[in-house]
Amino acid sequence: MGEKRITFRLSDAFRLGYDNVRRRFNRAFLNVAAIALGIAFFSTLSLTDAILRFNSPKESGLVIEGYQYGLVLVSFVVCAVSITNSMLIAVYERCREIGTMKCLGALDQHVLKLFLAESIILALLGGVLGFGTGFLALVLVCIFMGFRALSIPPSTLLLLLGKVTLLSLALSMLATIYPAYKAAKLDPVEALRYEV
């Protein structure tokens, strides 16, 4: 029967994922907001840390305490749980859709790929939004408190942006892996019988 090739190009996964994020924006936005919240918290803290390090004299003793990073960690866990939850609901909502795709030739791994592509899109949106929010929050606080001419080296900022991106990717993908796996393993016969 010739070459039996079944594929799902990465570009298609991202395009379909993007379509889904765009057209079901309400649900996607909750996930983006969850990521952004955690990331904003982390960004503000890291930026404050940088400002203190570069602008206040060593002996002033102003530092970020370890427990504050502990709080960030807790907020990440809360974010992840809420993303997992909302993704699981999305899997049930899209049950028929997933069953249909499998009927049209999608493999389990393709469904997984689609959900992970979506999670990467959410992560990037959430990461950027979170970093922006965190940065803005800090600027506002500085203005409000009357601090001026505080500087952070651009290299530090860039490094932080990189860190934030990686963090939001890890957060989002970690939170999505279980729902994505469930989606991939859906039995198409059951999925198509399922009434929404």
Residues that bind other proteins (CB under 8 A): 1, 4-9, 11-12, 16, 19-20, 23-24, 96-97, 99-108, 110, 188-189, 192
Burial of residue 67 (CB within 10 Å: 0-12, 13-18, 19+) is exposed
Q: Which residues have C-beta within 8 Å of that of residue 86, sequence separation ≥ 6? A: 27, 30, 31, 34
Report, in Å, the least distance between residue 79 CB and other proteins. Answer: 25
Nearer to other proteins, 55 or 100 (CB): 100
Nearer to other proteins, 104 or 145 (CB): 104
CA distance linking residue 34 with residue 29, whole number of Å: 8
Report, in Å, the least distance between residue 29 CB and other proteins. Answer: 15
- Name the 3-class secondary structure at 107: coil
Nearer to other proteins, 6 or 145 (CB): 6
Report, in Å, the least distance between residue 192 CB and other proteins. Answer: 7
How many CA atoms, within 13 angstroms, populate the side-chain half-sphere of residue 51?
16
**146, two tokens:** 């009357």
Nearer to other proteins, 152 or 192 (CB): 192
Nearer to other proteins, 29 or 69 (CB): 29
The CA–CA distances, whole Å, from 187 to 86, 96, 110 equal 21, 10, 14
Report, in Å, the least distance between residue 8 CB and other proteins. Answer: 6
Cβ 180 vs Cβ 116: under 8 Å: yes
Report, in Å, the least distance between residue 73 CB and other proteins. Answer: 35
